[in-house]
Structure 1
């Protein structure tokens, strides 16, 4: 019985019934997790999508949209953090859903989320085309997509710790630049608050949700973190900083500097530039406009690499639940799940070529609508899993004090996040049936709501296969299986390690 080499100081070994005792290596540190949490969702949704939101909903629409989305992901992050410390699993919320809600819900969530990661890769690739177009339009669209697809592949095939270092650098650049944006964009020139009323505000929400999608990735990296009890709470604690600096203040800077009717704004008829780039260009600050465009470029490539990472780990978690081919369980000696990376990168890159024959704004709208609905389902299941976990914990007579990390927001934040996810999924149904500025049609409905239809079909198919009750019986949940135990590791701790192993 040898000592487990992956057990770290302050941590007791996991039970052998670890539904994901994988070949992933715990090579990520607190610094990696914190910076990935800060920067993982900062991509085209903020830098480019905010322009489309401004044009659609006006200054008040985009600010309120980001405020609501921020409150939701803040709630989701606290639910995620409490579970990620105790159950750091490769696909995190997919496996938590299977454990605390039902296998059918886990199946639907896992495959829906994996596909959303593929869509995000495609969306970030098409964003690169728009960004590079600011400097030159001489290179064919397909060529740009191919070049940067290969760059994303190259980053993701590095060992996990190298991937982590690259993301730390990218996140640091993004995080530092927002201070430049806030300080430099001080010219106030806002228009009216709403454009075309409340329905326009609802149309902004998919882009706002898409912009913040990926914030939950700190839960996925917990499985490859040396000390999740320290790293995950710190990452959760940094959420307010990112939400306030990047999204709320960033959106405010856009609203006071850029005319929502500007023809060059992303989604318009002109250059389709980022509203941040337009603000600098209109102020005749060309060097800052070029630097801003370069930061956006780094952001979208970084988001694409994180999406490939997350997609491959989601497939690994599905495989450990018996919901994906067993080949996806495998990883090499440096922790790379090759099969998951190959399929995720192949589909994500392939979808990126849709941009060759369609406008960037149209592709962005379609992809962001699909991703936002998948994201709402995922956020809702994280909150529901947290509620169910706490319910099972209480039902089985366990004291809250035994939790390795407790969120002070429970139960209010979990219910807030879950409720708004449901409300917005219903609201998007309304917009899909009665679209803004267009006549109702089956084509429009399926183009905008196909995500929910896919989720329902996956869930019903899994229900037929797994049968059983609609809910996992909370009284029978093994709360210690798949759990990571923590304690003081000294001389006595080493004896405990020996016994456990």
Structure 2
């Protein structure tokens, strides 16, 4: 038997819930990998750069409230995902669950919009990485640095799933250490241990409420909630990794619980420090609030340090994005929704054809940022965050229908190694908050184009699936 035939035979085998291989993939990820993948997927430029804009719009207390609601929403969605992923550990899980509990057309659509979201992200991340390097090396072309990082990220994903996970562990680790250092230094400045420019005494927390609880009114809190929800996108990567995780029944729930508390501390802690040390009127998008705080404290090379951290965040997002888009193609192929060629894996369990295709998609997105920035690229990037929220809606619906199916079959919740607590309140609240985020996108004019682009993409996906199904039925007939 040839190696290709052997791989196809291996890939056609059913998925296993034990520690063995999952249809050609290999279970190599451990708890530490999962926790850092979940943290790394969320902690990015949304916190390091965009948080200042949120503070400027909603005020300190409004921003803390928005991030608290966002963290709670993500946690409830992850509890739903945890129950599904431990009961049915599938790579590319949420589109498989959508196909089973909602309908195959929805499963296909969810997979495609998630793939496109990460593909668009890849284009923007590789562009941004080149621009950051240009700040340090102004005489060099940005495209050369982008090409270097493209080769690096592709290689990490092509070697093995463990090399991807290890790289993500260290990428995310740098971000986590940076945030912990920021919060620790900021707290010392707040209580007066470290002097800060503009204050002859300890600033304390007076800046949080100096101009009232909601200085711009309560309405901006609603408008920023959709932005905050998008900032939390990335934790659903745990579902994508389910088929390549050692002992998913134990490791996935552990990663979910740990991730929530760390995200809440990191995000809300950072916002409190920023708001306490920087007047909310001075926060914005022109300069990272992290840099503003470090500059005020007098930390040398504050800008260079944050550029390094942001570069790490960008490479982490690119690494996760290539992995996620590759596994979506593999999973679609495994479910026989696209040609079976994408299901082939190397001896190290890497779906190389799917990986190359995903990378080509990322390069096309990068090219579209130059040649069709006002149409194709804008549609991909602006609708990316909304695609993640749609995945959250699907997960909540799937968990509810999964439980109802168990009830009809007379099965007990005690059979599950992990179950969503306070059912059905948790999935219903997750569904309500996620749908509310989508509704806010329609209400606020700045977010409306994202929703329009996403609705068009969804309609095209359903149409493609409908045509595909019709052709398949006629062939069978």
TMscore range, shorter length: 0.7 to 0.9
Question: TM-score of the superposition, structure 1-length normalised?
Answer: 0.78
Q: Residues 114, 250 of structure 1: CA spacing in aligned structure 2 closer, same or farther, 3 A cutoff?
A: same
User: 1:24 maps to what in 2?
Assistant: 25
For 1:244, the equivalent position in structure 2 comes to 264
Shift of 1:15: 8.8
**Structure 1 residue 357, shift from structure 2 partner:** 9.0
Do structure 1's residue 222 and structure 2's residue 242 form an aligned pair? yes
For residues 351 and 262 of structure 1, do their structure 2 counterparts lie closer, same or farther at Cα, with a shift above 3 Å needed? farther
The aligned runs of 1:40-51 (5 Å cut-off) are 40-51=41-52
In structure 2, the partner of 1:317 is 331
Deviation at 1:223, TM superposition (A): 0.5
Following superposition, the deviation at residue 250 of structure 1 comes to 1.7
After superposition, residues 325-474 of structure 1 pair within 5 angstroms as 325-352=339-366, 369-431=382-444, 435=445, 445-446=448-449, 449-459=452-462, 461-462=464-465, 466=469
What is the CA–CA distance in structure 1 between the aligned matches of 2:17 and 2:258, rounded to whole Å? 30
Correspondence 1:86-235 to 2 at 5 A: 86-129=87-130, 131-132=132-133, 135=136, 137-185=138-186, 186-187=189-190, 188=203, 189-190=207-208, 192=211, 194=214, 196-235=216-255
Q: 1:139 to 1:60 in 2, by over 3 A?
A: farther
The answer (yes or no) to whether the contact 2:223–2:440 under 8 Å persists in 1 is no
CA RMSD of aligned residues (A): 3.1
Q: Which moved more, 1:294-303 or 1:52-61?
A: 52-61
Match of 1:297 in 2: 311
- Count, aligned residues: 435
1:417 match: secondary structure = helix
CA–CA separation in structure 1 for the residues paired with 2:280 and 2:142: 27
1:355 to partner: Cα distance: 5.8
1:75-99 CA deviation, whole Å, 9 max, x = no partner?
A: 1111111111121111110101111
Cα distance between partner residues in 2 of 1:27 and 1:65: 36
Q: Does the residue aligned with 2:42 lie in a helix, a strand or coil? A: coil
Q: What is the Cα deviation at residue 129 of structure 1?
A: 4.5
Flag the 1:226–1:261 CA change in 2: closer, same or farther, 3 A.
Answer: same
In structure 2, stretches of 5+ residues that fail to align are 1-14, 191-202, 471-477
Matched, 1:306 2:320: yes
Secondary structure of 1:336's match? coil
SS state of the match for residue 157, structure 1? helix
Question: In the TM superposition, what is the alpha-carbon distance from 1:255 to its structure 2 partner?
Answer: 2.4
Change (3 A) 1:196 1:456: farther
Q: Aligned partners of 2:239 and 2:228: how far apart in 1?
A: 21
Q: What SS is found at the alignment partner of 2:92?
A: coil
Q: Which has the larger displacement, 307-316 or 35-44?
A: 35-44
Instruction: State how far apart, in whole Å, the 1-side matches of 2:437 and 2:183 are.
Output: 30
C-alpha contact (below 8 Å) 1:206/1:368 kept by paired residues: no
Contact 1:29 1:225 in 2 (8 A): yes
- Cα distance in 2 between the residues matched to 1:352 and 1:194: 40
1:74-85 counterparts in 2 under 5 A? 74-85=75-86
| Larger deviation, residues 348-357 vs 72-81 | 348-357
Contact residue 125 and residue 317 of structure 2 kept, 8 A:
yes
Q: 1:25 to 1:257 in 2, by over 3 A?
A: same
Structure with bigger helix share is: 2
Matching residue within 256, 278, 283 for 2:276? 256
1:134 deviates by 5.2
2:382/2:449 contact within 8 Å kept:
no
CA spacing shift, 1:85–1:246, aligned 2, 3 Å:
same
Q: Which residue of 1 aligns with 2:12?
A: none
Match of 1:471 in 2: none
Q: 1:485 aligns to what?
A: none
Give 1:136 deviation, angstroms.
5.0
Instruction: Structure 1 unaligned segments of length 5 or more: list them.
Output: 1-12, 437-443, 468-501
Aligned to 2:194: none
- Residues 353 and 23 (structure 1), Cα distance of their counterparts in 2 relative to 1, 3 Å cut: same
Tell me if structure 1 keeps the 8 A contact 2:123–2:365: yes
Tell me if the contact between 2:85 and 2:242 (Cα under 8 Å) persists in the aligned partners.
Answer: yes
- Name the residue aligned to 2:300: 286
Q: Is the 8 A contact 2:17 2:88 kept in 1?
A: no
Post-superposition Cα deviations, 1:95-142, rounded to whole Å, max 9, x if no partner, equal 011111111111110100111111222233344355446545444343
CA contact (8 A) 1:34 1:231 kept: no
In 2: Cα distance, 1:55 partner to 1:146 partner: 36
